[in-house]
Amino acid sequence: MSDAAIIMGKAIKPKTSTDDWIMRAMMLAIAAYLLLAIALPLYAILSKSFQDPDGMYIGLTNYITYLSTPALTWSIGNSFKVTFVATVIVLFIAFIYSYALTRSCMPFKKIFKGVALIPLLMPSLLPAIALVFFFGNQGVIKEWLFGYELYGPIGIVMGEVFFVFPHVMTILLISMSLSDARLYEASEVLGASKIRTFFTVTLPSMRYGLVSAFFVAFTLVITDFGVPKVVGGQYNVLATDVYKQVVGRHDFQMGAVVAMALLLPAAFAFIADRLVQRKQVALLSARAVPFEPKPSFTFDMVMFAFCALIALIITSVLAMAAYSSLVTFWPYNLTLTLKHYNFDLMDGGGWSSYFNSIELATYTAIFGTIVIFSGAYLVEKSRGFHKGRSIMQALCMVPMAVPGLVLGLAYVFFFNHPDNPLDFLYHSMPILVICTITHFYTVAHLSSVTALKQMDPEFEAVSQSLKAPFYKTFWRVTVPVCTPAILDVSMYLFVNAMTTVSAVVFLYSSDTTLASVAVLNMDDAGDQSPAAAMGMMIVMTAATVRLIHMVLTRGLTQRTQAWRQR
């Protein structure tokens, strides 16, 4: 069968229909966007790392300087150390937490699930600021550190565990809820003990989830900039080094080299994760029966106690951030006041940075959703053109592997280049929007693809046989059916555009200061309470948007109940 047959008939070259031409043109447009927004900037930063300040090619000289500067190379070890420790801790906590949510009958599961997501609403700077109020030099419970210093690895690990927790918890939760009850029944019937069942059924079924969670946590921690910026102290890591080289020393070449050093582990973790995920396909058969936990008083209470403790920690970090934003003068005058919200009196851009952030988030959500969902549709549903589609698919995955700081710096090199006709975008709102869409492209693309994959692949075939142009079916069927996913994507983009610091910190101008950057700058200037206040504005906005999203989704599900039941 596999031998190539001798072809008797005339070879056929399929005619390209109008639909196909339109689709290819659109795909090229989006591919061109991705080329401009990710491929070329990455090339710009890479070539910058091989140049001297005058733009002459000098080979590996910058790298050699980098490697022979102990102050810089220490950061590599530091980064790996804190990342590894934080990742292991967060995996451990998130594992038990999600295990409790899926495998116990403890009360208040919904609340626990919600509380665990709180860190998603914050720029990573904010929990770090809250940590300062807890454990800093004038912290309320600084003696809980037994004389150890918050600023440094301890602070970074604590902040990162908090910041990464919801991401890891979500991945583990999904992988645990995908378990097949029949395997547990079989194990029980065969007389296996609970512990044996755990090691032979539970763990193997979630090993991909665990590995994936590990890589995601690893990438998020090593590329995060907010936490080490606030509580890192003298303990340098790769992410803060990039910032210091560029913003502090204006050494763009060295910034590019450190950015490369940061890109490498992130890209490696990303590729490893993709390889593992590819293997996970079809782990669960369609006939699997979802697992239903049975009540067990002791186990449920232990799990409840654990989750309650974690939830308490998370809420108290949020509460501390809120409290510190309202205190007149920490720790001497604890009367409550709203004066720190009067941002116009501080550095950092005032209230306009908050409104700039809203503008950025709105544009990112609208244009990002349009571009990303259409792109996913074209990759997933167009006919033929296999090479173009696989190149496009690959391009869509790249942003995930690129840390925000690297992307932002790459934009500086690419768009600020005098020969670039797109130079006019530099320091404008559009470049912030483009950068933010690109930074969060991959996750949004993947959730769009997942939603599209759930649609019957024959819809397109049927509409072709009915002579309907693809855009008609896209508009009348695909978009309505995928509306929940589209809402998810736009909410994801909005919230992340509000909270991100790393991608935009090199790109804002005095006209386009942003709330998250204002948090950074006010904290830098020692105005911790106003920084916390701006952080709280971000949290409240993100929470409001999430709430609106929830109401919209619920309303939509009710209105479309007639056909959404499957």
Partner 1 sequence: MSAETSDPYLKISNLTKNFGNFTALRDISLEVFEKEFICFLGPSGCGKTTLLRAIAGLDIQTAGEIHQKGKDISALPPSERDFGIVFQSYALFPNLTILKNVAYGLENMKKDKAYIAKRVDELLELVGMPEQGDKHPAQLSGGQQQRVALARALATEPGLLLLDEPLSALDAKVRAHLRHEIKELQSKLGITTVMVTHDQEEALTMADRIVVMNNGVIEQVGTPFEIYREPASPFVADFIGTTNFIKGTLTNNGQVQVGGMTITVTGTSKDLSNGSEVLLCIRPEDVLTGSRADDADNKVESAIDHVEFLGSFHRVHMKPIAGDGTDFTVDVSVARAREMDLSLGAMLKVALPADHMNVYPSVS
Give the residues lining the site for partner 1 (CB under 8 A).
1-5, 7-17, 19-20, 383, 456, 458-459, 461-469, 472-473, 476-477, 480-481, 560, 562-566
Q: Which is nearer to partner 1, 96 or 556 (CB)?
A: 556
Closest CB 340 distance from partner 1, rounded Å: 49
Residues 6+ apart with CB under 8 A from 27: 375, 378, 379, 382, 385, 388, 389, 392
Query: CA–CA separation, 457 vs 480, rounded Å?
Result: 16
Residue 249 or 554 having the CB closest to partner 1: 554
Q: Compare residues 285 and 465 and give the one whose CB is closer to partner 1.
A: 465
187 vs 463, beta carbon nearer partner 1? 463
Task: Identify which of residues 198 and 459 has a Cβ nearer to partner 1 in the complex.
Answer: 459
Nearer to partner 1, 362 or 464 (CB): 464
In the bound state with partner 1, the residue whose beta carbon lies nearer, of 320 and 482, is: 482
* Minimal distance, residue 475 CB to partner 1, in Å: 11
- Distance from C-alpha of 84 to C-alpha of 482, rounded to nearest angstrom: 38
**Which tokens is 82 given?**
């804190």
Q: How far is the CB of 286 from partner 1 (least distance, A)?
A: 13
- Shortest reach from residue 476's CB to partner 1, in Å: 7
Residue 549 Cβ, how far from partner 1 at the closest point, in Å?
A: 21
CB of 344 to partner 1, least distance (A): 48
Question: Rounded to 10 degrees, what is the CA torsion of 145, 151, 156, 162?
Answer: 60
- In our burial notation (b when 16+ CB lie closer than 10 A, e otherwise), range 234-273 reads ebbbbbbbbbbbbeeeeebbbbbbbbbbbbebbbebbebb
Q: How far is the CB of 9 from partner 1 (least distance, A)?
A: 3
Closest approach of Cβ 110 to partner 1, in Å? 27
Supply the DSSP symbol for 286: T
Which residues lie below 8 Å from residue 424, measured CB to CB, with a gap of 6+? none
DSSP for 421-480, written as a single string: GGGGGTTSHHHHHHHHHHHTHHHHHHHHHHHHHTS-THHHHHHHHTT--HHHHIIIIIHH
Whose CA is closest to 364, among 28, 37, 23? 37
**Minimum CB distance to partner 1, residue 16 (Å):** 7
Q: Which of 87, 528, 30, 106 is nearest to 323 (CA)?
A: 528
Closer of 157 and 485 to partner 1 (Cβ): 485
Rounded Cα–Cα distance for residues 254 and 216 (Å): 27
Task: Determine the Cα–Cα distance for residues 416 and 427; give it in Å rounded to an integer.
Answer: 9
- Whichever of 3 and 344 has its CB closer to partner 1, that residue is 3
- Work out how close the CB of 281 gets to partner 1 at its nearest, in angstroms, rounded to a whole number: 19
Residues pairing with 329 in the sheet: 333
Which residue, 182 or 472, has its beta carbon nearer to partner 1? Answer: 472
Q: How far apart are CA 408 and CA 245, in angstroms?
A: 14
Three state DSSP letters for 367-412: HHHHHHHHHHHHHHHCCCCHHHHHHHHHHHHHHHHCCHHHHHHHHH
